[in-house]
Structure 1
Amino acid sequence: MSLTMRFCGAAGTVTGSCYWLRTHDASFLIDCGMFQGNKTLQALNYEPFPFDAARIDFVLQTHAHIDHSGLLPKLFKEGFRGPIRATSGTADLLSYMLPDSAFIQEMETDQLNRRNSRRGKPQVEPAYTKADAAECLELFRPVDYERWVEAAPGIRFRMWNAGHILGSASIELEVAEAGSDKPIRLLFSGDIGPDHKLFHPDPEASNNFDYVICESTYGGRSRERRSAEQRREILAHEVRDALQAGGNLLIPSFAVERTQELLADLTLLQESGVINHAPIFLDSPLAIRATEVFEQHAHELEELAKQPHLIDNPNIRFTETVDESKAINRIKGGAIILAASGMCDAGRIRHHLLQHLWRPDSTVLLVGYQAPGTMGRMLSDGKAQVTIQGNPIRVRARIREIDVYSGHADHGELVEWIDERKPIGCLMLTHGDPESSEALRQAVIAKGMEADKVLLPQIDDCYDFEAGKLVPSVNRKPVIRRVEPDVIVHPDWHNDAAQLLLDIRNQIDAAADERAKKVVIRRLRRALEEA
């Protein structure tokens, strides 16, 4: 039984995790994630899959984050009807996350189509609908950690705690090989959590693999190890400074795990009197549902099992409806507002940024990784002006960042995790920016792995397993890429065009009088005519 694998996402970039594996008798996926980042990369969410969805036999799902799961309803829409195997925690989270993602798809498509109608442009369809998401959920088949499950003849798997979010797993896979009594052994890391993470035990898995496909999000970046008390003190310092500035504190936060961790720490800080009892608005219907799932799984989570009241705080106010969300705008200072998304690219945080970025007394606290091309990365990079919903906004708010809530292992923890999986025949580093993956590659080589056994696949690269070694399929036929690797990790033409429009507006505004403004406009028109 030969085995072929194609990297359909999260190769040369951090999002869109999806690995397509084929044997003579089976075709299946590890994850089916949504692309995030610049618009060129996001456009892949609306293009056809590089495989026939109706011929996929099953999906093995590492965890619930949308960049790993967000295209499952599209897979269903295009004909997939096989089982989706995941832990119960992942299945429970996705019972809310996938319908929420579909709602966003429909809402954003509706807004775009209204603009297209006014501009005479054609109408577009969402990647999938709420109905697709609801029917997709019927395909989930929960499995337990560390229990072997036969997925198809000659193929079995088991899941290991990855320590990343509720239900997250690394997936150990064995595929029978023709003419051999020894199967091909693979391990897909999924997203690996850091050591000593709130709620979760340290990540674990077996060892002695032919092939390990490992994430590299924080390759080359190390964090100072912090105790729970040190982490809370860092957060307390930011909260105190933000509220003393007189405005509100906005925290763009991923609805799952990051939000619940922040709520737990904010509750402890308020209960102990370290910070004032300010109102905490959880402005995300999805985060509210996810918090309920965490309460249901409290017995599985280390801190919640001991102190289930950690996210039961009278100062926390759930805002579910749009009207409730808009009402927060009447509060000009003294409030903490948590809203999705964590990279500021969708959801209600955009609405709050529109209201607060221009205020010098407001604070935006970034608490997670910001992918290239996202609004969060622009704020992190110190952009003086951004565009939100077509509105140019001058950034006057205080932009702050802390990196003590990351759900990902840092460089040293990744190296250690890989070392514990040895012996490894071939290591493939994915789910990272090129610089991060290369930094991790060099570190692993320095630890003794042969350089030609540590690979950095690019999007749509395809490999064949032959006689115990991995061979790029490009040796047989050229790779057809949906997007070139250098495009997906840098600001694309959409980002450049938005910045150009801001620069033009600023140049005109800066002109001394009406005559000078007209001179600027004439020069711009001349440049366009000569282009």
Structure 2
Amino acid sequence: MEMQFYGAAGGVTGSCHLLSVGDKKLLIDCGMFQGGHDLEEENRTKFGFDAKDVDYLLLTHAHLDHCGRIPLLVKRGFRGEIITTAATRELARLVLMDAAGLAAEEARRSNRRHQRQGGTESEAIYDLTDVLDTMDRFGRTADYAEKIAVCPGVSVTFGDAGHILGSAWILIEASEAGKQQRIVYSGDLGNRGKPIINPPTPAPRADVIVMESTYGDRLHKAIRPSVDELRDAILDTLKRGGNAIIPTFALERAQDLLYYLREMMRNNQLPANLPVFLDSPMAISATEIFRRHPECFNPDTRAGLQQGADPFALRNLHFTRETSESMGINLIKGGALIMAGSGMATGGRVTHHLKHNIWRADCSVIFVGYAAQGTLARRIIDGAKTVRIFGEEIHVAAKIYTIGGFSAHADHDELLAWYGDQKPTRTILVHGEDNGREGIAKVLRARGLQVDCPVIGDRYSL
């Protein structure tokens, strides 16, 4: 058996891990690299393996940095089976259709620029047809805790990772030449106390554990003070007469925020008639998908939904799907809460809202999620005085809030709690920058355990 790493190895995006068992090759995730221009170009490069050789793809969840390059994999010859949970399958279709649309839009914008300045025209990394071809590759559906015999000598069990709807860690039980191995891929692990979905179920016993480490060097703020901080940021913005812009991840973060806003309004902590705009077609569709998968909800939320208490229903909530509706929001000069994607402000409708509001001192930008190096969100959070949006240099005058307690990722203590007191022969830390990985590695090494921190292209014989 051999394990190779082709993404999220030394960084937090582009998850892509290849496991070879005999003559079978299993790919765990095939995600998009996200961040600056160089990473966008990296998405177009060769995978490091032949797509035609991959027999199975096991998908942990539907975030773009875990599923975003699957259509490219199919475009380059993958004809195997994709196995994942029912909720992830629905969300992945939504995410990939959106990614194809954004890629086409970016290609058109780039080509217009090239026509003016000269240069080679570019094409989208993949299109809607490639996404539809990809959906044909989805096969068996994984239920949590149920073993699937993938092929002779290999079975998999998906467990609840508590990260987003349908997210999973994956236990692979593999046998080769009489040697058996239990290998766990954590995918992305969620933090505890989330309002809608269950917390992660602990890691099963394993010989090898491949674990994410995004926040391995830090602890999150407690969720309740974070909710209070969000409330105070919104109230302060309303008092100043401006708009509050929240760059929002469409999956999980948008739904959690709707839940908390509804709670605040019900408790008279926010005006019940506060205009809230969910300006993200993907987040709107994702919310509808959430409603179709109560099996992923925690007991309290599931019971409330069954009794008619919709966790996403606000009195003055506006779903804006159409571009014209989104443009209309920019005519509102104050008193509105605008949630729009993308969460890292790398594209999407939030960039338009930032362009119209970030230069105004009465407005606020509230970040409630992770911002990778090289993204517009990170530059704003780091205190940039000006930012370039659609080719225009814009002064940053809005009040900037960064609230960390809403993270969908487990922190240092929660990662170790999921890991438990196991003693695998090898632990491999992925999906983290150097500080995050070292925060977990030093603890596990102090237990006398072997810990590896691969970079892209590394391979290990098991």
Instruction: Specify the TM-score bucket, using the shorter chain as the normaliser.
Output: over 0.9
Q: Which residue of 2 is the match for residue 49 of structure 1? A: 47
Q: 1:289 aligns with which of 285, 288, 297?
A: 285
Q: How do residues 254-265 of structure 1 correspond to structure 2 at under 5 angstroms?
A: 254-265=249-260
Does residue 424 of structure 2 align to residue 424 of structure 1? yes
Higher helix content, 1 or 2: 1
Does the 8 Å CA contact 1:366/1:401 hold for their aligned counterparts? yes
Q: Read off the aligned partner of 2:346 and give its amino acid letter.
A: D
- TM-score, normalised by the number of residues in structure 1: 0.84
Q: Which residue of 2 is the match for residue 506 of structure 1? A: none
Does residue 452 of structure 2 align to residue 455 of structure 1? yes
Q: What displacement does 1:92 show? A: 1.3
Structure 2 SS opposite 1:49: coil
Q: What displacement does 1:177 show? A: 2.4
- Describe the superposition over 1:220-253 as per-residue Cα deviations: whole angstroms up to 9, x where unpaired: 11124344xx443222111111211211000001
Q: Which residue of 1 is the match for residue 194 of structure 2? A: 197
**Alignment partners' CA distance in 2, 1:412 and 1:179:** 37
**Alignment partners' CA distance in 2, 1:201 and 1:285:** 25
Q: Which residue of 2 is the match for residue 177 of structure 1? A: 176
Q: Read off the aligned partner of 2:166 and give its amino acid letter.
A: G
Does the 8 Å CA contact 2:223/2:406 hold for their aligned counterparts? no
Q: How do residues 514-529 of structure 1 correspond to structure 2 at under 5 angstroms?
A: none
Does the 8 Å CA contact 1:11/1:458 hold for their aligned counterparts? yes
**Alignment partners' CA distance in 2, 1:113 and 1:72:** 25
Q: Which residue of 2 is the match for residue 37 of structure 1? A: 35
Q: How do residues 188-227 of structure 1 correspond to structure 2 at under 5 angstroms?
A: 188-227=185-224
Q: Which residue of 2 is the match for residue 505 of structure 1? A: none
**Alignment partners' CA distance in 2, 1:306 and 1:364:** 34
Q: Which residue of 2 is the match for residue 300 of structure 1? A: 296
Q: What displacement does 1:399 show? A: 0.7
Structure 1 SS opposite 2:311: helix
**Alignment partners' CA distance in 1, 2:84 and 2:402:** 33
Structure 1 SS opposite 2:383: coil
Q: 1:18 aligns with which of 11, 16, 19?
A: 16
Q: Which residue of 1 is the match for residue 150 of structure 2? A: 151
Structure 2 SS opposite 1:427: strand
Q: Which has the larger radius of gyration?
A: 1
Q: Which residue of 2 is the match for residue 338 of structure 1? A: 339
Does the 8 Å CA contact 2:22/2:176 hold for their aligned counterparts? no
**Alignment partners' CA distance in 1, 2:347 and 2:7:** 21
Q: Which residue of 2 is the match for residue 131 of structure 1? A: 129
Does the 8 Å CA contact 2:202/2:417 hold for their aligned counterparts? no
Q: How do residues 458-469 of structure 1 correspond to structure 2 at under 5 angstroms?
A: 458-465=455-462
Q: What displacement does 1:352 show? A: 0.7
Does the 8 Å CA contact 1:253/1:367 hold for their aligned counterparts? yes
Structure 1 SS opposite 2:255: helix
- Describe the superposition over 1:403-439 as per-residue Cα deviations: whole angstroms up to 9, x where unpaired: 121111111111222224x121111111011111112
- Describe the superposition over 1:192-233 as per-residue Cα deviations: whole angstroms up to 9, x where unpaired: 111222212221144331110000000111124344xx4432
Q: Which residue of 2 is the match for residue 482 of structure 1? A: none
Q: How do residues 87-106 of structure 1 correspond to structure 2 at under 5 angstroms?
A: 87-106=85-104
Q: Read off the aligned partner of 1:410 and give its amino acid letter.
A: D
**Alignment partners' CA distance in 2, 1:207 and 1:325:** 46
Q: Which residue of 1 is the match for residue 238 of structure 2? A: 243
Q: What displacement does 1:391 show? A: 0.5
Does the 8 Å CA contact 1:430/1:437 hold for their aligned counterparts? yes
Q: Which residue of 1 is the match for residue 350 of structure 2? A: 349
**Alignment partners' CA distance in 1, 2:428 and 2:177:** 23
Q: How do residues 319-330 of structure 1 correspond to structure 2 at under 5 angstroms?
A: 319-330=320-331
**Alignment partners' CA distance in 2, 1:205 and 1:73:** 32
Q: What displacement does 1:343 show? A: 0.4
User: Which structure 2 residue ranges, 5 or more long, are not aligned?
Assistant: none
Q: How do residues 321-400 of structure 1 correspond to structure 2 at under 5 angstroms?
A: 321-400=322-401
Q: What displacement does 1:459 show? A: 1.5
- TM-score, normalised by the number of residues in structure 2: 0.96
Q: What displacement does 1:299 show? A: 4.5
Q: 2:267 aligns with which of 265, 268, 272?
A: 272
Aligned length: 455
**Alignment partners' CA distance in 2, 1:297 and 1:104:** 27
Q: What displacement does 1:51 show? A: 1.2
**Alignment partners' CA distance in 2, 1:371 and 1:153:** 40
**Alignment partners' CA distance in 2, 1:61 and 1:186:** 15
Structure 2 SS opposite 1:63: coil
Identity of aligned residues (%): 40
Structure 2 SS opposite 1:9: coil
Does the 8 Å CA contact 2:2/2:460 hold for their aligned counterparts? yes
Q: Which residue of 1 is the match for residue 59 of structure 2? A: 61
Does residue 164 of structure 2 align to residue 165 of structure 1? yes
Does the 8 Å CA contact 1:11/1:431 hold for their aligned counterparts? yes
**Alignment partners' CA distance in 2, 1:204 and 1:210:** 18
Does the 8 Å CA contact 2:171/2:204 hold for their aligned counterparts? no
Q: Read off the aligned partner of 1:114 and give its amino acid letter.
A: R
**Alignment partners' CA distance in 2, 1:205 and 1:223:** 19
Q: Which residue of 2 is the match for residue 186 of structure 1? A: 183
Does residue 436 of structure 2 align to residue 436 of structure 1? yes
Query: More deviation in 301-310 or 210-219?
Result: 301-310
Q: CA RMSD in A?
A: 1.3
Q: What displacement does 1:38 show? A: 2.0
Does the 8 Å CA contact 1:248/1:362 hold for their aligned counterparts? yes
Does the 8 Å CA contact 1:219/1:411 hold for their aligned counterparts? yes
Q: Read off the aligned partner of 1:174 and give its amino acid letter.
A: E
**Alignment partners' CA distance in 2, 1:398 and 1:224:** 20
User: Which structure 1 residue ranges, 5 or more long, are not aligned?
Assistant: 466-531
Q: Read off the aligned partner of 1:284 and give its amino acid letter.
A: S
**Alignment partners' CA distance in 2, 1:187 and 1:416:** 15
Structure 1 SS opposite 2:282: helix
Q: What displacement does 1:54 show? A: 1.6
Does the 8 Å CA contact 1:207/1:423 hold for their aligned counterparts? no
Structure 2 SS opposite 1:86: strand
Query: More deviation in 267-276 or 198-207?
Result: 198-207
Does the 8 Å CA contact 1:170/1:205 hold for their aligned counterparts? no
Q: Which runs of 4+ in 1 moved over 3 A?
A: 224-227
**Alignment partners' CA distance in 2, 1:16 and 1:340:** 19
Q: Which residue of 2 is the match for residue 508 of structure 1? A: none
